[in-house]
Amino acid sequence: MQNVMGIIHLNLGQDVLKELTMGRPLAALPFGGRYRLIDFILSNMVNSGMQNVGILVQDKYRALMDHLRSGKEWDLARKRDGLFILPPSPNPCSTSGCRGSVENFYNNLDYIESSRQEYMLIAGSHIVCNLNYRKAFKFHKDMNADVTILYKEHDIEDELTRYTILDCQPDGRISDMGSQSPRSASRKVSMEMYLIEKRLLVELIKDSQARGGWDFTKDVLIKNVDKLKMFGYPYKGYAARIDSIKNYYRHNMDLLRPEKWEELFFKSGLVYTKVKDEGPVKYKENARVFNTMIANGCIIEGRVENSILFRGVKVHKGAYIKDSIIMQKCEIAENAIIENVICDKNVCITQGKWLKGEKNYPLVVAKGTVV
């Protein structure tokens, strides 16, 4: 897939995770004990053999830049191609801000046009999966498609209304797409991953920008369903869509099932991330740990159950953590009890405190808070 260039766009409307995405783009949201969301799509692209990846950033992207740096961790610090950050506007004095994903593409068209690759893979960073794109790309070429959209059959009924649904003919040709309509029983949810020829993309973006259509899905894809040969390609593996705190919590917890852990982290390639050089996890005399995922650098003296601990978390004697997500460098002091809680980075829960959220409404403690 060396002939495919990757574009990762950071979705607009990313404040859906409230406190967790206040100071960072969704792509930089910590996930799975030692990763950030963007690691998954980036590793998928690299593991599929792609060597040129551009990232369309919107705002608040410092956290992301700090995470990605030269791209070395993903083997993307290269002389030819490699990792490129594409800022929202080439004009630093622009006051208008970015009106949508189309404009974001448009502002970076010169970079896209000058790339060596003939094809593009466009994806967001909010879907966590371990996916190799080689088969989808072959399908795209075999079908002689204009656009191939990866989709997944969704199983939770009440969430369908929020997503873009595809209606496909038996050969995969998309006959209709849009939000769920009473006319169709399709559960094929677009994963917002698109394969497209570069020439065609450039044309479509220029056209849409000229007509004032700023939304890629609506103004470029849905509008052209009849004109373009669009195909749906099914993905059947593990995929976690992070679009609410509830889903964020649920999908993290899912990783405590060994088969999911195995599938996400090993199935079609390893997942790369920034290295922190933390020591191995230290379990002390009084540690009691069950059904938990723990990243390096943690020091455990207390009791931890059904939880996810990121790098460098300290759990002191008598502390009890249950059904919680504890991000990097948090400290849970002696005899503190927390349940159904998401602690953002550098949170300190002091001695003897008792914090409890609900399973379907976990309590979020903002970055750096001392409770």
Partner 1 sequence: MAWVENEWGIYVMRKKECVAMILAGGQGSRLGSLTRKIAKPAVPFGGKYRIIDFPLSNCHNSGIDTVGVLTQYRPLALHSYIGIGSPWDLDRRDGGVYVLPPYAQEGGAEWYKGTADAIYQNLNFIDMINPNYVLVLSGDHIYNMDYSVMLDHHKKQRAEATISVIEVPWHETSRFGIMNTDTSGRITEFIEKPRDAKSNLASMGIYIFNWRLLRKSLEEDRKNALSSHDFGKDIIPKLLMDGHRLFSYYFKGYWKDVGTVESFWEANMDLLTDEPELDLYNPNWRIYSVNPTRPPHYIGSTAKITRSLVSEGCSILGEVEHSVIFPGVHIEEGAVVKDSIVMPYVTIGRDAQIYRGIIGRKSLIEEGALIGAINHEGICVIEENIVIPSDAQILENHMISKQKQVG
The nearest distance, CB 5 to partner 1, in angstroms, is 24
**Do residues 348 and 370 touch, judged by C-beta distance below 8 A?**
yes
Q: With binding defined as CB under 8 A, does residue 280 bind partner 1?
A: yes
Residue 284 or 359 having the CB closest to partner 1: 284
d(CA 54, CA 345): 27
Question: What is the smallest separation between the CB atom of 270 and partner 1, expressed in angstroms?
Answer: 5
Site for partner 1 in 13-32 (CB under 8 A): 32
- In the three-class reduction of DSSP (H, G, I as helix; E, B as strand; rest coil), residue 122 is classed as strand
Other C-beta atoms closer than 10 Å to the C-beta of 58 total 20
Residue 74 C-beta: closest distance to partner 1, Å: 11
Name the minimum Å distance from CB 247 to partner 1. Answer: 20
Q: How many angstroms separate the CA atoms of 75 and 308, rounded?
A: 28
Selected binder of partner 1 within 34, 241, 316, 345 (CB under 8 A): 34
Among positions 48-77, residues that touch partner 1 (CB under 8 A) are: 72
Is 33 a binding residue for partner 1 by CB under 8 A? The answer is: yes
Strands 147-153 and 188-197: antiparallel
- By CB under 8 A, which span of 185-193, 196-204, 280-288, 363-371 interacts with partner 1? 280-288
182 close to 160: Cβ distance less than 8 angstroms? no
Instruction: Identify which of 363, 366, 123, 127 has the alpha carbon closest to the alpha carbon of residue 242.
Output: 127
**Tokens 């075999």 belong to which residue?**
142
Burial class (CB in 10 A: 0-12, 13-18, 19+), 279: exposed
Q: Which of 13, 92, 170, 258 binds partner 1 (CB under 8 A)?
A: 258
HSE (side-chain half, CA atoms, 13 Å) at 322: 12
Which residue in 142, 171, 259, 277 binds partner 1 (CB under 8 A)?
A: 277
Decide if residue 366 touches partner 1 (CB under 8 A): no
Min separation Cβ 226 and partner 1, Å? 44
Which residues bind to partner 1, rule: CB under 8 A? 32-34, 72, 256, 258, 261, 264-265, 270-272, 275, 277-287, 289-297, 299, 308-310
